[in-house]
Structure 1
Amino acid sequence: MRWKIPAGALVALAFVIPAAPAAAQTAVPGLNDACQTVERKVYKDFRELVTIDLDTANVSELRLLAYRLLAEAQAESLPVLPGEIEERLKGTSDDLRAYLKNVENRWATALRVSIGQTMTGAGPNVRAAAQKVLDNPSVEAYLAYLNNGLYEARALDCASQPTPTPSQPTTTPTATPSATSTVVPPLSPSASVGVPGGDGGGEGGGLPVTGSDTATVAGIGGALLLLGGASYVIGRRRRSRFVA
């Protein structure tokens, strides 16, 4: 079981050793299922990653290849395949060799499942393109759809969606003052209080006289009336005597 010792080194080498030149692809932006621009996921050809003779390769070479395939399967989010490779890495070298000889078929199945997943909730163009590929199965057709056909069909579906119209802001009506409302000004201390039928005489129109001042004025007026009456009576008596 000496092959377990350099397992960490094999994992590091799986990422350091470059893949085949054809696998180094530059992804251009595309649309996701929400019609948002994202970086495309590039699906590589696993057949080009197998660069060793599986019949004569030693255990280290087999494990290094398995780790490279595992890293790529995880990067592409392929279903089933990552778990299968991890299980074979835990087994014997013979089991790993036998699995790697059949990995092309397992990889094609994972691609087919991935294509079926793109149809969930997709538009009519994506569903039609995916179904066409599934009806004519081949690894080349699977890769062409996942790397290009999917994004082309999705762009058509996104373009056919109606453009949402911006909602108009809701205005709250403001209360307008009533035409019949009357504003009553406050009474200032300097306002004059008029006497009914009079013009509220006096400069500044002072307040009416009340209290003890009123009694004094009334008394003087009464006295004047009495004096006037007495003078009138005396004057008539003197006049009658003079005439007589």
Structure 2
Amino acid sequence: MRWKIPAGGLMALVFLIPAAPAVAQTEPPGLNEACQTVERKVYKDIRELVTIDLGTATNVEVRVLANQILAAANADSLSISPRVIQERLDGTADDLREFLKADVQKAWSTDLRITVVRTLTGADTNVKAAARKVLDNGAIDAYLAYLNNGLYAARALDCASQPTPTPTSQPTPTPSATTTAAPIPTSSASLDAPGGEGGGLPVTGAETATVAGIGGALLLLGWAGYLIGRRRRSRFVA
């Protein structure tokens, strides 16, 4: 039971120290499916993590290695390896050791193959050809070479072969005829001013009634004057 204390310390170091401390390498940018420049995703070669003899290593060393591989698989977003490794970590030390000896690379290879197949979705001619060639090979080294370099080289060729979109000519807008309101004609002569071209406007409405009333009154006055004058003449003659 004494080994549990140093084992706990080693397990803590697994999560505090990177899985594979190495000199940081800056990868050149690549192109994504939309031909946009992005940072490359580099898949880890887990074989580089196996620096111990699995036959003679202690159980603690085996568990530390398994956790390092699990961290790398999770970082690469693999589908199968993280689940399988975790199941072995939850089991016995002997099962974990045997898994790392024989089966961890099988699960990892399947994950890499699945990842290669996914790059075919929406791919163009060069990416499809490169991916199918790698799938026919079926080796781990071929998968890694494709995912880390070949994919981006093939995608660059596909993006370069795409036609450059040309701006479509837009028709020159023609000025639309604007409808102007016709000017309202005004009379050249006012109602009170006589003469003018075409004569004055006819008097209508209330003004016509006034004129007619005055005319009628004058007519009655004239008729009354005529009768009075006639009577006077008749009396004078008699």
- The aligned residue for residue 25 of structure 1 is 25
193 and 60 in structure 1: CA distance in 2 versus 1, 3 angstrom threshold:
farther
- The aligned residue for residue 214 of structure 2 is 216
User: Match for 2:124: what amino acid?
Assistant: G
Structure 2: runs of 5 or more not aligned? 234-238
208 and 154 in structure 1: CA distance in 2 versus 1, 3 angstrom threshold:
same
8 Å contact 2:131–2:146 — kept in the other structure? yes
8 Å contact 1:11–1:67 — kept in the other structure? no
1:151-200 deviation per Cα after TM superposition (whole angstroms, max 9, x unaligned): 11111112223344556789999974568x7554799xxx63899x8535
Structure 1: runs of 5 or more not aligned? 236-244
- The aligned residue for residue 73 of structure 1 is 73
- Displacement of 1:55 in angstroms is 1.3
- Superposition TM-score, scaled by structure 1 size: 0.71
- The aligned residue for residue 14 of structure 2 is 13
Segment drifting more, 98-107 vs 6-15: 6-15
Q: Are residues 1:58 and 2:86 paired? A: no
What SS does the corresponding residue of 1:209 show, helix, strand or coil?
A: helix
- Displacement of 1:5 in angstroms is 10
- The aligned residue for residue 114 of structure 1 is 115
8 Å contact 1:193–1:208 — kept in the other structure? no
Matches within 5 A, 1:172-211: 176=177, 182=182, 184=184, 192=191, 198-199=199-200, 209-211=207-209
8 Å contact 1:88–1:95 — kept in the other structure? yes
82 and 176 in structure 1: CA distance in 2 versus 1, 3 angstrom threshold:
same
- Displacement of 1:98 in angstroms is 0.6
Q: Are residues 1:92 and 2:92 paired? A: yes
127 and 198 in structure 1: CA distance in 2 versus 1, 3 angstrom threshold:
closer
1:70-124 deviation per Cα after TM superposition (whole angstroms, max 9, x unaligned): 1111111223111111111111000100111122333233222221221232111
Q: Distance in 2 between matches of 1:186 and 1:12?
A: 102
Matches within 5 A, 1:124-143: 124-143=125-144
User: Match for 1:97: what amino acid?
Assistant: R
- Displacement of 1:135 in angstroms is 2.5
Matches within 5 A, 1:161-172: 161-165=162-166
8 Å contact 2:19–2:72 — kept in the other structure? no
198 and 217 in structure 1: CA distance in 2 versus 1, 3 angstrom threshold:
farther
- Displacement of 1:137 in angstroms is 3.5
User: Match for 1:33: what amino acid?
Assistant: E
166 and 51 in structure 1: CA distance in 2 versus 1, 3 angstrom threshold:
same
Q: Distance in 1 between matches of 2:167 and 2:5?
A: 62
User: Match for 2:126: what amino acid?
Assistant: N
Segment drifting more, 208-217 vs 79-88: 208-217
183 and 5 in structure 1: CA distance in 2 versus 1, 3 angstrom threshold:
farther
How many residues align structurally? 228
Q: Distance in 2 between matches of 1:230 and 1:164?
A: 111
Q: Distance in 1 between matches of 2:199 and 2:219?
A: 20
> What's the C-alpha RMSD, in Å, of the aligned pairs?
4.4
What SS does the corresponding residue of 2:207 show, helix, strand or coil?
A: coil
- Superposition TM-score, scaled by structure 2 size: 0.73
Q: Distance in 1 between matches of 2:20 and 2:87?
A: 23
User: Match for 1:107: what amino acid?
Assistant: W
Q: Distance in 2 between matches of 1:26 and 1:223?
A: 125
